Amino acid sequence: MPFRVGVLISGQGSNLQALIDHFARKEGVPGPEIVCVASSRADALGLERARNAGIETAVFDKTDHSDRDARDAALGNWLDDHNLDLVVLAGFMEILSGPFIRRFEGRLVNVHPSLLPAFPGVNAIEQALAYGVKVMGVTVHFVDEGVDTGPVVLQEAFELPYARDMEEIEHRVHEIEHRLLPRAVELIAAGAVSRDESNPRVVRITQAT
Ligand code: GRF
């Protein structure tokens, strides 16, 4: 049985593309499979990337539902219909409701463009640059009910000893994200990721793949 992954996006979908490319099905080779992609916006470029890869897509725009809770319930039902092992937030730019997060607890990860707990929320790269940090990075974490507060699965840092323009930094961040997110999914799918019983905040990577 492949490890079934659903991806939620809102925009460009470059992280989705990295997942698609990384897990492109090779005949007879078991591994994670991206089975569905949902977007919070109909105009997300990532939807086209999914369609090009033959992946089922759907749009769950808040404005099509009575409120966010109703949208999240519909989204949760759609995801559950696909029997997913993992849901990946790859540039999903909206806060999900508590019931949705509890429904997928332990099966929901997010990629964030900072070394959490520094600079949670939107515009993390801008926040980090405005603060003047000399080390930046990327975090993949399990999602809990806070904003970017869940247990860290993987992080990777890079140094920023001298000023560079925003575009260059975004490029560097994306390059890391596109490696780190597929790696995290791969580790989770391999059963190599567990939570420390004495401190569930701590994620243990128990085996290298
Ligand atoms: C990424 O930088 C991710 O960390 C953040 O949103 C961005 C999404 O980019 N949460 P893309 O849509 O995957 O290109």
Task: Return the residue matching tokens 């000023």.
Answer: 163
Nearest CA to ligand 1 atom 3: 91
As given in the structure block, the two tokens for residue 115 are 């070394």
What is the CB neighbour count within 10 angstroms for residue 189? 21
The minimum-distance atom of ligand 1 relative to the CA of 111 is 4
Q: How far is the CA of 92 from the centre of ligand 1 (A)?
A: 8
Do you know the residue count of the chain?
209
pTM of the model: 0.96
What is the CB neighbour count within 10 angstroms for residue 70? 13
Cβ-in-10-Å burial (0-12, 13-18, 19+) of 89 comes to buried
Catalytic residue among 22, 112, 141, 174: 112
pLDDT at 208: 59
Say what the alpha-carbon torsion angle 202, 22, 42, 83 is, to the nearest 10 degrees. -60
As given in the structure block, the two tokens for residue 51 are 């369609």
pLDDT at 139: 98
Q: How far is the CA of 13 from the centre of ligand 1 (A)?
A: 7
Nearest CA to ligand 1 atom 10: 91
pLDDT at 209: 52
**DSSP class per residue in 21-72:** HHT---TT---EEEEEEEESSTT-HHHHHHHHTT-EEEE--GGGSSSHHHHH
Q: Which residues line ligand 1 (CB under 6 A)?
A: 9, 11-15, 46, 90-91, 111-113, 177
pLDDT at 164: 80
pLDDT tens per residue across span 122-139: 999 999 999 999 999 999
Confirm if 96 and 125 have CB atoms less than 8 A apart: no
The minimum-distance atom of ligand 1 relative to the CA of 46 is 12
pLDDT at 118: 98
Residue type at position 59? V
Rounded to a whole number, what is the distance in angstroms from the first to the last CA of the chain?
A: 18
Q: Which of 14, 40, 181 to mutate to test the pocket of ligand 1 (most atoms within 8 A of CB)?
A: 14
What is the CB neighbour count within 10 angstroms for residue 63? 6
With a cut of 70, which residues of the chain have pLDDT below it? 25-29, 208-209
